[in-house]
């Protein structure tokens, strides 16, 4: 196979995988109870998150395969899973490997979810928070297309998307926690039959 074809495919699939990974992150961050758009069912959100993450892994697989089969630079099969063993651009390729390792951990943990404690699964799933920035760094650190304006714009777009989703998630979570603590606050029993303020508890209609 022509080395140039591999070269183009590996770059293209890498970009697509990054975009899909970003979309996965955004969907994952915006999965919260009760706060959802009227016409978009919550289960669809969840299923989309799962399917897009699978798609990103497919494109990632293409990206990895073509980058290794491309003989122009030597990367080596070990570099798929073992970081910093590639002779080409050891550090930045290694970052890519780290991202793959983290994503593999998340994937495997979801397969084994029924057998682990919920806290363990959740902890591993949070590795995704490490995976995305590392993938982003790998993309721009390798430098192949990172000078192109559209690639820069894409990168900025990804950062804004995840950053925005993260801020939104933090806001919703703190608001919900306040609501819960207000609802279950015990008011002193005594001469005054006080009504508790359960305002935060009401489901948003």
Partner 1 sequence: MSNDVSQAPPRSAVHHLLGHPIDLAGHIDAHGPLVVAMGHHDSWQRALAASLESSGLTGRGGGGFPSAAKLAMARAHGHVGTLVVNAMEGEPASDKDKVLLSRAPHLVLDGAQFLAAMCRARRIVVCIPVGRDGIAAAVEHAMRERSAARYTRVSELVLRPPDRFVAGEESALVSWIDDQRALPVFRPDKGTPLRIGKRPVLLHNAETLAHIALIARHGPEGFLARGLVEEPGTSLVTLSGAVAQPGVVEVDRGTPLWEIARRATPVEPAQALLVGGYGGNWVGPEHFDTPYASISLRTIGASAGVGVIAVLGERSCGVAETAHIARYLAGQSAGQCGPCVFGLPAIADDLALLARGQADRGLMARLTRRLGEVNGRGACRHPDGAVSLVRSALAVFGPDVAAHNRGEPCAHWRTPSSLPFPRSMAR
Partner 2 sequence: MTTVRISIDPVACEAYGYCAELVPEAIVLDEWGYPMVDGAPLPADLVALARRAVRDCPKRAITLTKKSAR
Residue (4 or 184) nearer to partner 1, CB: 184
Token pair listed for 111: 């397969």
190 near partner 1, judged by CB under 8 A = yes
Q: Of 74, 175, 199, 202, which lies in the binding site for partner 2, with binding defined by CB under 8 A?
A: 202
117 near partner 2, judged by CB under 8 A = no
Residue (4 or 197) nearer to partner 1, CB: 197
**Cα distances (Å, whole numbers) of residue 63 to 17, 70, 96, 120:** 8, 11, 11, 30
Yes or no: say if 76 and 40 are a contact pair by the CB < 8 Å rule: no
Token pair listed for 51: 């399917």
Dihedral angle computed from the Cα positions of residues 15, 160, 134 and 151, in that order, rounded to the nearest 10 degrees: 30
Contact segment (CB under 8 A) with partner 1 among 11-19, 49-57, 119-127, 187-195 equals: 187-195
Token pair listed for 80: 């798929």
Contact segment (CB under 8 A) with partner 1 among 14-22, 81-89, 145-153, 176-184 equals: 176-184
Nearest approach, Cβ of residue 104 and partner 2 (Å)? 21
Q: Which parts of the chain are beta strand (E)?
A: none
203 near partner 2, judged by CB under 8 A = yes
Yes or no: say if 198 and 62 are a contact pair by the CB < 8 Å rule: no
Residue ranges in contact with partner 1 by CB under 8 A = 180, 183-191, 193-196, 198, 201
């Amino acid at each position: 196979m022509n080395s140039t074809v591999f070269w183009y495919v590996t770059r293209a699939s890498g970009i697509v995988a990054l975009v899909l990974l970003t979309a996965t992150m955004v969907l994952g961050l915006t999965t919260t109870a009760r706060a959802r758009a009227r016409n978009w069912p919550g289960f669809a959100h969840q299923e989309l998150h799962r399917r897009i993450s699978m798609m990103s892994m497919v494109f990632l697989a293409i990206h990895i395969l073509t980058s290794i089969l491309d003989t122009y630079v030597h990367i080596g099969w070990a570099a798929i899973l073992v970081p910093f063993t590639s002779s080409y651009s050891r550090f930045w390729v290694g970052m890519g490997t780290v991202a793959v390792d983290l994503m593999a951990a998340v994937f495997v943990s979801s397969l084994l979810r029924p057998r682990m404690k919920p806290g363990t699964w959740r902890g591993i799933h949070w590795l995704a928070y490490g995976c995305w920035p590392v993938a982003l760094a790998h993309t721009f650190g390798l430098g192949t297309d990172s000078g192109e304006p559209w690639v820069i714009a894409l990168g900025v777009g990804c950062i804004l998307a995840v950053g925005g989703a993260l801020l939104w998630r933090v806001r919703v979570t703190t608001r919900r926690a306040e609501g819960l603590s207000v609802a279950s606050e015990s008011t002193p029993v005594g001469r005054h039959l006080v009504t508790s303020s359960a305002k935060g508890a009401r489901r948003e209609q």
